[in-house]
């Protein structure tokens, strides 16, 4: 169990047979955001709005709670949670109105009772703070076990997309967030 926790803390998933934790905390390096542009994938260390610094994921029988600590918190950024469970691969996006949308192909569905809270940490100007997403398990099935990922994204006026995948430990991928944290409901 200790080795599974150590692997999850390092951002590397434990094999399913070893993963028995319902909570994972991962630190993400500062300044590791990347931009997907017409010129390809380029580092974007100056883009603090999408810079995830720490991630906490918790799975219960009723919900998954995600707390992403960022270098800067703003409602211009889209928090994203990726869930793989029961043969399904789902993406959830936080919205400015505080709701959560499940994205499947071209369809968008508001997740009932899903919630996004912007916490600027000071009750005033946005600064280092947290994005807190709560997604009921009813939005993605009955997950006794699942693989989870989280990131922040920002789409520019020119169509470029800047992202920080909190679990990326290698080259960025435009195909989506890594789901390297395995959690088991208590």
CATH architecture of 2-184: Sandwich (2.60)
Residue spans of the domains in the chain: they are 2-184
Residue partners of 163: CB distance under 8 A and separation at least 6: 33, 34, 35, 36, 50, 151, 152, 153, 154, 172
pLDDT at 8: 34
Nearest to 77 by CA among 90, 68, 87: 68
Joined tokens for residue 147: 């693989």
pLDDT at 109: 78
pLDDT at 80: 92
pLDDT at 3: 34
How far, in Å, CA of 35 to CA of 155, rounded? 9
Residue partners of 40: CB distance under 8 A and separation at least 6: none
pTM recorded for the entire structure: 0.79
pLDDT at 127: 45
How far, in Å, CA of 57 to CA of 40, rounded? 31
Beta strands in the chain (DSSP E): 23-27, 34-37, 40-43, 52-59, 63-70, 78-85, 88-94, 100-104, 107-110, 115-119, 129-136, 145-155, 161-165, 181-184
129 CA to centre of own chain: 15
- pLDDT per residue, tens digit, the chain (186 aa), is 333 323 333 344 444 434 447 999 999 988 999 998 888 888 999 998 899 999 999 999 889 999 999 988 888 899 999 998 888 888 999 888 888 888 876 777 777 678 888 776 544 444 458 899 999 888 887 667 889 999 999 998 888 899 999 987 555 666 567 888 888 888
DSSP letter string over 87-114? TEEEEEEE-TTS-EEEEETTEEEE-TT-
Q: How many residues does the chain have?
A: 186
């Amino acid at each position: 169990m200790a080795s599974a926790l150590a692997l999850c803390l390092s951002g590397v998933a434990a094999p399913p047979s070893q993963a028995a934790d319902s909570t994972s905390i991962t630190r993400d390096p500062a300044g590791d955001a990347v931009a997907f542009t017409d010129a390809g994938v380029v580092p974007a260390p100056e883009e603090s709005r999408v810079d995830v610094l720490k991630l906490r994921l918790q799975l219960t029988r009723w919900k998954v709670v995600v707390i992403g600590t960022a270098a800067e918190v703003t409602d211009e950024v889209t928090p994203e949670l990726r869930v793989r469970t029961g043969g399904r691969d789902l993406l959830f996006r936080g919205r400015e109105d505080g709701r959560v949308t499940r994205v499947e192909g071209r369809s968008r569905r508001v997740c009932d009772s899903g919630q996004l809270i912007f916490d600027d940490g000071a009750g005033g100007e946005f600064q280092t703070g947290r994005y807190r997403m709560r997604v009921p398990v009813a939005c993605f099935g009955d997950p006794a076990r699942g693989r989870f990922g989280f990131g922040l994204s920002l789409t520019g006026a020119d169509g470029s997309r800047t992202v920080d995948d909190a679990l990326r430990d290698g080259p960025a991928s435009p195909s989506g967030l890594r789901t390297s944290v395995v959690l088991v409901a208590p």
